[in-house]
Structure 1
Amino acid sequence: MPEEMKSKAVALKTIVYNTSTVYNSTALDTVNKNEVDIMKKLFYRHVMSLLNHFTANDKYLYLLFFFGLMDGGDLLKRIVDSPDRRLSETDSKFFFLQLVQGVNYLHSNHVAHRDIKAENCFLSNRGISPLLRIGNFGLSSKISDAMSTICGTILYTAPEVFESSLYSQKVDIWSLGCLLYAMLSGKVPFAADQGSGNEKLLEEKIKKSRIHFERI
């Protein structure tokens, strides 16, 4: 652990690769470079800050990312642990405002997250009221880059991502809408039963179906 991290309570994200099958020695320094390069430039209340990072190489390549500790778990846990497994309208508005502020900051700094979901929103309970920060930038991209890769978590993925064309940072706005729906209702707006071929069915639902808003 870096010396400056030893006196701090931190969160550690570890990614492990088998170097004998995945990477050669010349590629070790570039693994996850995109995530590191993006996060090093982000400093905002509602975005996770990268404190430090380094790699350790043996039979396996270990990528270690150090973040400030968020002691409240993630937003999914908050939803699941709530009465009726959904948030109140007041709590939903409270967290959604922080989400919107975080995404607005990212877009203003030319970053598209591309994987906004409850599991990537982390909470801290150390202040007077819970603080939300957006994390996990492994799929993020600079907006100046041409974005066409199908990525993200399908339950929150915008329909244009599935098309064979370029898309913009607006895919994050779609994901925000899905997340707000999940906070209020306790379930995502589009779903399909688990099983072979159902991911394609879910993709078609996202592209063509109308959202049903239940009375809460």
Structure 2
Amino acid sequence: MRIALVDDNPQDAQVLQGYLDRFSREVGLEWSYAYYSDGQAFLDGDTCQFDLIVMDVDMPGINGIETARLLRQRDPDVLLMFVTNMPQYALAGYAMDALDYLIKPVAYGDFTLKLQKTLRYLRRDRTEWITLHTTGGMVRLEPREILYVESTLHYLTYHTWSGEYRVRGAMAEAERTLQGYSFARCSRSYLVNLRHVRAIEGEDVVVETVRLKMTRSRREEFLERFTRFLGGMEP
């Protein structure tokens, strides 16, 4: 993972760098980071190389909120975390689609909780493949492009952006294949990709433009999983 630290206070940046080094050792991950003393210096560089940007708000020249606004014009998806001693800017920070907001002085425990949330978001968007042995031959799919899986008798139908793929098997097999990719059962017949849920209306789960029935026995667990997904607590 590549991280940018943008802070006009080098001592504060050094503390965060120490936290990153410690967390890296504890979880066995490797990452690199670059330090920028102000927003303009950061914007003058290659901002698209980073997976996470940790940015102060109160900086000379253009502040962190304005820097983030200009950044979003280039990269609407990069993960952004504000770290500042100015809590009154929290709402403005979230308006920049910030992943999180920390108040200085930052404690190690609080910072690591935010880093763990960041890793969940990054893993959620990772590119991986599964292989399906369909009735028409072998197909490779990215889990993210699967909308939902439907079980009918002894067959599974994978509904995707690119079409439907039919596989002989049971729903338990699909659950094992897609474990760790934020799929959840809303009924005995449907395994839903939580990233494609647009609404839950009564007994219906709206998956993009399709409505799927949610059974009473699955409702509580499905809603809990969906809530965790929205909060970044699902992979």
TM-score under structure 2 length normalisation: 0.24
Considering fraction of residues, name the structure with more strand: 2
Structure with the greater alpha carbon radius of gyration: 2
> Relative CO higher for 1 or 2, CA cutoff 8 Å, sep ≥ 6?
1
TM-score using structure 1 length: 0.25
